[in-house]
A and B are shown apart, each in its own frame.
Chain A
């Protein structure tokens, strides 16, 4: 049971390049989330999914797209990276909404030059 895994762990992009971050969970959780972590700002929700085939916008969705084609995977895409997207990205999952724990991946550190 690996929990929540994220690929890659580190990435450096040039402005305008695209990339996809992969999140995978093996706990059969329904809900998945993408957050970004910036110094002094805590974690902010980018997009989330309440089940396979569904996605919704979070607090800071601009410049990102997501897909949930399979229940265990949640992909975060940057179509045209900008320096403002330099951040640490965390994926999380939970069995259902409410008071359940969210389980976080180890994070992806992205630098956009």
Chain B
């Protein structure tokens, strides 16, 4: 079956530090990959996505590259801000046969201190 594994959290950083949150997946075929973010007290919202190998998704300074050879989709940001404090979820959708269903990782809590 499909699965997503994220690095254990929580992650605590100082403002302007470099961020990496690891994500690896198991899936048949060529899934689409997503990062969703959940700010305190809110629902999830899409941060970025990639639909095929070697694609790079980017948004708000965050980036992630779809690496088929390592089945990974690690999230990076060069300089985090306090406002980036949130829970980050890696997810996959197998496409076509899955009716858009998402499989999520367990989530990584990020706290950024001034």
A residues in contact (CB < 8 Å) with B: 4, 31, 33, 40-45, 48, 50, 56, 58, 90, 92, 94, 96-102, 104-107
**What chain A residues lie within 8 Å of B49 (beta carbons)?**
99, 101
Tell me if A90 and B43 are in contact (CB < 8 A): yes
**A49 and chain B: residue at smallest CB distance:** B99
Query: A100: which B residues are within 8 A, CB to CB?
Result: 100
Given contacts A31-B100, A90-B43, A104-B43, contact A99 B95 (CB under 8 A): yes
Q: Can you name 14 A-B residue pairings with CB atoms under 8 Å?
A: A31-B99, A42-B89, A43-B44, A43-B102, A48-B101, A97-B95, A97-B98, A97-B99, A98-B100, A99-B51, A99-B93, A100-B100, A106-B42, A107-B43
Q: Which residues of B contact A (CB under 8 A)?
A: 4, 32, 36, 41-46, 49, 51, 89, 93, 95-96, 98-102, 104-107
* Cross-chain contact B44 with A101 (CB below 8 angstroms): no
Closest CB in chain A relative to B23 CB, distance in Å: 11
Task: Please state if A42 and B104 are interface contacts (CB–CB under 8 Å).
Answer: yes
Known: A33-B102, A98-B100. 4 other contacts (CB 8 A): A45-B102, A96-B100, A99-B95, A107-B42
* Contact B42–A42 (Cβ < 8 Å): no
CB-CB under 8 A from B101, the residues of chain A are 33, 45, 48, 58
Closest to A102 in B: B102
Contacts of A101 in B (CB 8 A): 46, 49
